[in-house]
Amino acid sequence: MNILVTGATGYVGSRLVAALSSDHQVKSLVRDEISYKDKFGYLNTTICKGDLVDLESIKDYFQNVDIAFYLVHSLSAGNKFYDKELLCAQNFIDAAKKNNVKRIIYLGGLSDDTKPLSPHLKSRNEVGEILRSSGIPCIELQSSIIIGEGGLSYEIMKSLVHKLPIMITPRWVSSLSQPIWINDVIKYLKESISIDISDSLIVQIGGPSIVTYKNLMATYAEIYGLKRFMIPVPVLTPRLSSLWLGLVTPAYARAGKKLIESLKTNSIITDKKGTGLFNITPVDFKEALKNVISMKETDMIGARWFDPVSSGPRLSNKAPLKEIEYKYQMTDERKITTTANTTQAFKPINDIGGLNGWYFANFLWKIRGWLDLFVGGVGTRRTRFKKDRFVIGDTLDWWRISDTIEGEMVEFKAEMKLPGEAYLKFSVNPSVKGSEIIQTAGFKTNNLAGILYWYSLYPLHAFIFSRMIKAIKKRTLFVG
């Protein structure tokens, strides 16, 4: 079977490609081909570089495709996410129709349609309507909360339970849902390829138990043997809740707000007819939690929710595949030598960020991250997909890796809210007595606000960066 998976870099899409690639001819539609190869190059899939917002970039990839999966999700695409969702769906349909695709499979969200829906859930439902009304048979799987390592809902719960012995719990934690294990979701997606249908249909999927998000957190804490106290505060708004979450979890304030707005409505199965077509018995949420908790980090086969570029806040809605040309560029370059060899010299650079910090004035880095969080940015809670090496497209705090040469160089681009583009680059070269470390901080902009931003902060940046490179040198001397 010839299959196309859109959203192949995402949390669900990356796992589905892994599950399908041994039995089918799979095409993976991605924005960043290099990053995908670095992370998932071991998968037997044809990588197709394109973006659903640009019909011309994707239409040829639908040739000879039997089944097309729609797994694109614009949770963090800013205020325009609603329009972008609908545009992507329409371009997907146009390309599928032109190439006579036989079936569409879509993973949407399970919601209570009798209550007002959040913009996020409303857009998901409208995408489903566009796909089902295309004339191509479409299976729309509407899923309740998904439990799995790296998923947004799960990671929020995990971080809250581990970091807060006493939790202020807003009203949304009492909404009902039927949590489903990510492995069961993948089973539903796989079986959707072969079940016999003649027309489009909706299938509501979830686990067997109806619980609240509060129940989920309490059960997670119980499995870990942790005592957690929850204090209800019904007046906490989604905006305030998202900022509170962002301070203690890897969730962007923007993504957290959209998720919370969705969690305010129940997510339970009201129509079981479609599930009878599948030979699947989902595990209970307690067993799902135990399965996820027992996983080792090396067992994780797919992306985390914030790994795809689309999860970042700086993605352009108009020209996603084009580099922005900047008129002005300012840099701060520093060099220092060490007696350590190049491998030893690069080790502290490889370990930088995350729990290890940035080696100098970590409290200032955290304050900057909090400020970014409060204006809807990413904050400083993201970790790398690959801990042992840098991978293009990977995330680290508010940075995304834009270029790397293993053991020699890495360049980060900031995903903060800025009047331009900030980057930080480290490289190591051999020298007569050891190695030379080069550290370059830079900023590109097209406007006066960006120029003022750079020069107003330059004294502080100069203070931090001059000491950071010295701290890196010091650490090279203790590498075994």
Residue range 292-312, pLDDT digits in tens: 888 755 455 556 555 555 545
pLDDT at site 152: 78
| Confidence check: pLDDT of 342 > 60 | yes
Residue pair 62/4 in contact by the 8 Å Cβ criterion? yes
pLDDT average, residue stretch 371-395: 68
Q: What is the mean pLDDT of the chain?
A: 85
The answer to whether 397 touches 381, Cβ cutoff 8 Å, is yes
Residue scoring higher pLDDT (336 or 157): 336
Given this model, what pLDDT does residue 315 score? Answer: 43
Alpha-carbon span 142 to 202, nearest angstrom: 7
CB 437 within 8 A of CB 428: yes
Predicted pLDDT of residue 400: 87
Measure the CA–CA gap between 6 and 72, rounded to whole angstroms: 6
For 71-80, 190-199, 215-224, 409-418, which range has the lowest pLDDT when averaged over its residues? 71-80
Looking at the DSSP bridge assignments, the partners of residue 427 are 409, 438
Look up residue 111 and give its amino acid. Answer: S
Residue 54 has pLDDT above 80, yes or no: yes
- What pLDDT is stored for residue 410 in this prediction? 95
pLDDT of residue 251 exceeding 70: no
Q: Is the pLDDT of residue 220 over 70?
A: yes
pLDDT score recorded for residue 139: 98
Query: pTM of the full predicted structure?
Result: 0.74
Q: What is the pLDDT of residues 159-194, one digit of tens each?
A: 788 888 888 777 778 889 999 999 999 999 999 999
% of the chain exceeding 70 in pLDDT: 83
Out of 99-103, 107-111, 149-153, 402-406, which region has the weakest mean confidence (pLDDT)? Answer: 149-153
Mean of pLDDT values over 307-331: 61
CA distance 298 to 363: 31
Residue 78's pLDDT band, with cuts at 50, 70 and 90, is low
Closest to 45 in 3D by CA, of 14, 90, 66: 14
Question: Domains in the chain, start-ordered, CATH in brackets?
Answer: 328-476 (3.30.530.20)
Mean pLDDT of 87-111: 95
The pLDDT of residue 343 is above 50:
yes
302: Cβ contacts below 8 Å, ≥ 6 apart: 11, 12, 14, 15, 18, 150
Model confidence band, residue 240 (pLDDT cutoffs 50, 70, 90): low
Structure confidence at residue 314 as a pLDDT band (50, 70, 90): very low
Geometric angle at alpha carbon 377, from 246 and 9, rounded to 5°:
90
- What does the pLDDT read at residue 244? 60
